[in-house]
Amino acid sequence: MATQNTTLLIIGGGPGGYVAAIRAGQLGIPTILIEGATPGGTCLNIGCIPSKALIHVANEFHALQAYAADSVLGIQAQAPVIDIARSVAWKDGIVKRLTGGVAALLKKHQVTVISGWARIVDGKTIDVEVPAVKGGRTQMQRIRCEHLVLATGSEPVELPFMPFGKQVITSTEALSPKKLPKRLAVVGGGYIGLELGTVYRKLGVDVDIIEAQSRILPSYDADLVKPVEIALRAMGVSIHTATRVLGLSEDGKGVRVQGTEGAQRIVAADQVLVAVGRRPRSRGFGLSTLMLDMEGLAVRIDDQCRTSMRNIWAIGDLTGEPMLAHRAMAQGEMVAEIIAGHTRRFVPASMPAVCFTDPEIACAGLSPEQAREAGLDVIEASFPFAANGRAMTLQSTDGFVRVVARHDNHLILGWQAVGRGVSELSAAFSQSIEMGACLEDVAGTIHAHPTLGEAVQEAALRALGRAVHI
Ligand code: FAD
Ligand code: NAD
């Protein structure tokens, strides 16, 4: 068996692993990255990017449908027709460009990429099964390393009584439909269920969302979720909260569900998207041989992403919640720098989160409730988009921006927003918190007019008791 030595070996080329590799390359660390599928991981191939591409397709289609039905803007359009195969091909083109770009960046930074599935032998030895090229035989390679970064990501949770198959699908299949179903049941009203449920509904599919908790998006506060729920219902999505899924119906034409009232009923569906969460990918590649400290299926890490074994690091979804691409990237960058001898810790002042529903939700830092639970005396203030000129010109006056700040010194602790396009406000939210801004800093910053960002300034002004436009 061929053996190679390296300083740093990374298993997994998702946003955690590839960013760690590129940064390590920049820092001159000899690095090997092993990826079993395509560089870019879940995020670029079957997650963040393809979902946002389809959201764009659905938004454009939906807007045309609206113009065809009612030309309040003076635009008259014919009812549009969707060619989903072309939409998927366009989405695939974006994915290909981005994953190709990642491969090129890895090469530029002299990272050796090995395509194959890694298997852990011990903390410093990894075997890779490299697929055969053109009729040749599968090759085994052994790599010895000084540092091992585990970045194997996550996989969708399966419901044991409703295994994935032709009719019961994950987000991966939902992102590449060959044709659209007539009726889609979505199990799970979280990020994936709502983002993709909205796509399918806007493309004309009848969508039912079945959520076990008493409300959709239970991880966000109720005020933020309310406009999303109203919009979903207005679009014609049926939402079943506090409802358990029991399995496929006997005739296979729907799912059996049970609400709190106890009676069972059938929700008709040609296809069922199960989106009840993702779990760390910590099984099937010899991780257990290392006997690392775990938290369930997640690898336990400290604030430098060190595991319980020296020189073994873990980043991204493998380390549990929040399973977000920007967290994985930030951890990957940090670990490369620590290995290069820099002093770093992973203590972000906030971890922004965006839900790309319509309207979108964007948050950074503490909600008013979280701040109070932490024993802080806070002030909070909201500014509604109904009072923002730009929002009116975009026909998107639903929603608001809210700020949370300490009462004593006005230090900003958190931002929340719901509204069309608020994902782009998340940069301002995170920057102000990371830079330790006070309400006066944001209130005293000139914000370009007319923009949705003015609502950010106005929320800060309102918290100081001097909002101008309300
Ligand atoms: P991954 O991206 O999962 O990458 C892990 C890689 O490791 C994979 O490529 C896998 O093939 C490889 N691998 C695993 N085991 C081995 C092995 N033994 N040998 C070799 N290779 C291996 N997050 C956001 O922040 N914003 C979003 O908008 C967003 N949208 C999403 C939409 C969907 C539909 C999904 C499913 C997820 C979304 N996420 C989003 C979450 C985001 O994709 C993940 O948080 C992110 O990809 C995690 O990065 P990672 O590097 O930890 O793991
Ligand atoms: P999620 O945790 O966001 O939502 C899962 C939902 O399913 C929850 O509301 C939960 O209460 C519900 N649920 C659980 N078991 C159920 C059951 N048996 N029946 C009915 N409902 C049930 O998970 P997800 O939507 O699968 O997404 C996985 C992860 O991917 C997210 O946690 C997030 O980290 C990431 N993601 C992020 C984005 C983004 O940042 N915009 C988008 C998509 C995915």
- 358 and 393 housed in the same domain: yes
For residue 126, the ligand closest to its alpha carbon is: 1
Q: Hey, whose CA ends up nearest to atom 17 of ligand 2?
A: 212
Q: Tell me the DSSP string of 411-470.
A: BEEEEEEEETTGGGGHHHHHHHHHTT-BHHHHHTSPPPSS-TTHHHHHHHHHHTT--S--
Q: Is residue 284 part of a domain?
A: yes
How would you label 319-353 residue by residue, b for 16+ Cβ within 10 Å and e otherwise? bbeebbbbbbbbbbbbbbbbbbeeeeebebebebb
366, 360 contact by CB (below 8 A): no
Q: Which atom of ligand 1 is nearest to the CA of 52?
A: 28
pLDDT tens, N- to C-terminus, the chain (470 residues): 889 999 999 999 999 999 999 999 999 999 999 999 999 999 999 999 999 999 999 999 999 999 998 778 999 999 999 999 999 999 999 999 999 999 999 999 999 999 999 999 999 999 999 887 777 788 899 999 999 999 999 999 999 999 999 999 999 999 999 999 999 999 999 999 999 999 999 999 999 999 999 999 999 999 999 999 999 999 999 999 999 999 999 998 999 999 998 899 999 999 999 999 999 999 999 999 999 999 999 999 999 999 999 999 999 999 999 999 999 999 999 999 999 999 999 999 999 999 999 999 999 999 999 999 999 999 999 999 999 999 999 999 999 999 999 999 999 999 999 999 999 999 999 999 999 999 999 999 999 999 999 999 999 999 999 999 99
Q: Can you tell me the distance from the alpha carbon of 118 to that of 129, in angstroms, rounded to the nearest whole number? A: 7
Our measurement of the distance from residue 407's CA atom to the centroid of its chain's CA atoms, rounded to an integer in Å, reads 32
Long-range CB contact pairs, 284-287, < 8 A, 24+: 285/11, 285/117, 285/118, 285/119, 285/120, 285/152, 286/119, 286/120, 286/121, 287/120, 287/150, 287/152
Q: Which atom of ligand 1 is nearest to the CA of 17?
A: 51
Q: Is residue 60 part of a domain?
A: no
- 242 and 388 housed in the same domain: no
Angle at alpha carbon of residue 251, lines to 246 and 255, rounded to 5°: 30
Q: Is residue 163 part of a domain?
A: no
Q: Hey, whose CA ends up nearest to atom 47 of ligand 1?
A: 43
Kindly give the distance from the C-alpha atom of residue 38 to the centroid of ligand 2, in angstroms, as a whole number. 24
Q: Which atom of ligand 1 is nearest to the CA of 156?
A: 36
- 174 and 197 housed in the same domain: yes
For residue 155, the ligand closest to its alpha carbon is: 1
188, 274 contact by CB (below 8 A): yes
In the prediction, which pLDDT does 135 show? 74
Q: Can you tell me the distance from the alpha carbon of 128 to that of 453, in angstroms, rounded to the nearest whole number? A: 49
Q: Is residue 70 part of a domain?
A: no
Domain count within the chain = 3
Task: State the pairing for strand pair 360-365/154-156.
Answer: unpaired
Kindly give the distance from the C-alpha atom of residue 274 to the centroid of ligand 2, in angstroms, as a whole number. 9
216, 233 contact by CB (below 8 A): no
In the prediction, which pLDDT does 354 show? 98
User: Would residue 56 show up in a list of annotated catalytic residues for this protein?
Assistant: no
CATH code where residue 423 lies: 3.30.390.30
Pocket of ligand 1 (CB under 6 A): 11-17, 34-37, 41-43, 47-48, 51, 117-118, 151-154, 171, 192, 281, 285, 316-318, 323-326, 328, 356
Q: Which domain holds residue 362?
A: 353-463
Sorted by sequence, the CB contacts under 8 Å of residue 89 that are 6+ apart come out as none
Q: Is residue 247 part of a domain?
A: yes
Task: State the pairing for strand pair 31-35/353-355.
Answer: unpaired
Kindly give the distance from the C-alpha atom of residue 277 to the centroid of ligand 2, in angstroms, as a whole number. 4
For 18-176, where are the E strands, in sequence order? Answer: 31-35, 112-115, 117-122, 125-130, 139-150, 154-156, 168-169
**DSSP type of residue 13:** -
Helix (H) / strand (E) element for 98: namely helix 84-108
Residue 217, token pair as written in the block: 């998006």
Residue 234, token pair as written in the block: 């207005």
Sorted by sequence, the CB contacts under 8 Å of residue 402 that are 6+ apart come out as 223, 368, 380, 381, 382, 383, 415, 416, 417, 459
For residue 176, the ligand closest to its alpha carbon is: 1
What residues form DSSP beta bridges with 6? 145
Residue 109, token pair as written in the block: 């930074």
- 222 and 241 housed in the same domain: yes
42, 317 contact by CB (below 8 A): yes
- 211 and 102 housed in the same domain: no
Q: Is residue 444 part of a domain?
A: yes
Nearest Cα to 57, choosing from 186, 196, 187, 172? 196
What are the helix and strand counts (H, E) for the chain? 13, 24
The sheet that has 353-355: what strands, in order across it?
353-355, 360-365, 412-419, 400-406, 378-384
- 363 and 430 housed in the same domain: yes
Q: Is the CB of 352 under 6 A from ligand 2?
A: no
- 459 and 437 housed in the same domain: yes
Q: Tell me if residue 7 falls in helix, strand or coil.
A: strand
Residue 401, token pair as written in the block: 């921006």
Catalytic annotation, pick one of 326, 342, 449, 469: 449
For residue 52, the ligand closest to its alpha carbon is: 1
Does 80 sit behind a cis peptide bond, omega within 30 degrees of 0 on the bond before it? no
Domain stops at, among 291, 315, 339 = 339
- 259 and 302 housed in the same domain: no
Q: Hey, whose CA ends up nearest to atom 35 of ligand 1?
A: 47
Q: Is the CB of 195 under 6 A from ligand 2?
A: yes
Q: Give the torsion sign (CA, 306, 307, 309, 312).
A: negative
- 210 and 113 housed in the same domain: no
Domain stops at, among 288, 311, 339 = 339
What residues form DSSP beta bridges with 255? 248, 267
CATH code where residue 180 lies: 3.50.50.60
Q: Is the CB of 35 under 6 A from ligand 2?
A: no
Q: Is the CB of 259 under 6 A from ligand 2?
A: no
Q: Is residue 77 part of a domain?
A: no
The one-letter amino acid at 308: S
Q: Tell me the DSSP string of 248-302.
A: E-TTSSEEEEE-TT--EEEEE-SEEEE-S-EEE--SSSSGGGG---EETTEEP--
In the prediction, which pLDDT does 71 show? 74
- 357 and 414 housed in the same domain: yes
Place of tokens 């599919």: 205
Q: Is residue 67 part of a domain?
A: no
Kindly give the distance from the C-alpha atom of residue 216 to the centroid of ligand 1, in angstroms, as a whole number. 23
Residue 380, token pair as written in the block: 């909070």
pTM of the model: 0.97
- 270 and 283 housed in the same domain: no
Ligand 2 mutation target, pool 155, 161, 171, 192, most atoms within 8 A of CB: 192
Kindly give the distance from the C-alpha atom of residue 217 to the centroid of ligand 2, in angstroms, as a whole number. 8
Domain stops at, among 224, 257, 276 = 276
- 144 and 288 housed in the same domain: yes
